Copies of this chain bind each other. A is one copy, B any other.
Amino acid sequence: MTTNTAAPAPDKLTAKGKATRARILEHAAELIYTKGVHATNNEQLRRAAGVSGSQLNHYFPSKESLVLAVIAWQAERVLTFHRSERFACFDSLDAFRAWADFYVGYERAYQEGCTLGSLASEIIKTDLDVHDELASVFDQWRVIFRDGIARMQQLGRISPEADPTRLANLLLAAFQGGMLLAQVARDIAPLKDALRSAIDYVQTFARSPDPGVLQAR
């Protein structure tokens, strides 16, 4: 992973190629998560994924290209989940409460933590040139919350005085920090407290819906 030629675009690969690439990625994500970016090397990854050195080099010609693909893979999972219908674009307090309940009720949550947050805390300490991509993922996540809160304002559900970006940053920070504290304590309580308090704060901006706005829907 020292050469720096471009990796083949995933959508140009054959079905077999895609499967091999996905297998490498899955093991890379696992190794990076458990051992860290620095301690993950070609040899371990080759053995774990059961691929040859030339195969590995074909799909991921550099460590950057591998780490970028792991970021993209985990981002896809997290963002798709947050954009799923169950949360209705976060246009109500109920949606935010359902989201908090999911993580608080998910028994592996505090064992696993947030895979993306965990990867981020690894990567920000390295000199790999992947910071922009990582920042972009967290921006997209923040925008999901921010747009949901802005939509709640349009619907008259919360006051125009609320600052959607500021609240989105609180919610995302409560999630990331709460997950870390829950992992450290081996107890879900810190995550539960942080998420519910953050949502309760959003609720302090709640208004009775404007009947005119409701009719217009």
B177 A193 Cβ-Cβ under 8 A: no
- State the majority secondary structure of interface residues on A: helix
Does A33 sit at the interface, judged by CB under 8 A? yes
Sort chain A's interface into a size bin.
Answer: 35 or more
The answer for the CA separation of A121 and B124 in the assembled complex, in Å, is 12
Does A55 sit at the interface, judged by CB under 8 A? no
The answer for the CA separation of A189 and B135 in the assembled complex, in Å, is 13
B173 A178 Cβ-Cβ under 8 A: yes
- Residue in contact with A39 in the complex, picked from B38, B167, B169, B183, CB distance below 8 Å: B38
The answer for the CA separation of A170 and B117 in the assembled complex, in Å, is 18
List A residues 162-217 near B (Cβ within 8 Å). 163, 165-167, 169-170, 172-181, 183-186, 189-191, 193-194, 196-198, 200-201, 204
Chain A residues in the interface with B (C-beta under 8 A): 33-39, 113, 117-118, 120-122, 124-125, 131, 134-135, 138-139, 142, 163, 165-167, 169-170, 172-181, 183-186, 189-191, 193-194, 196-198, 200-201, 204
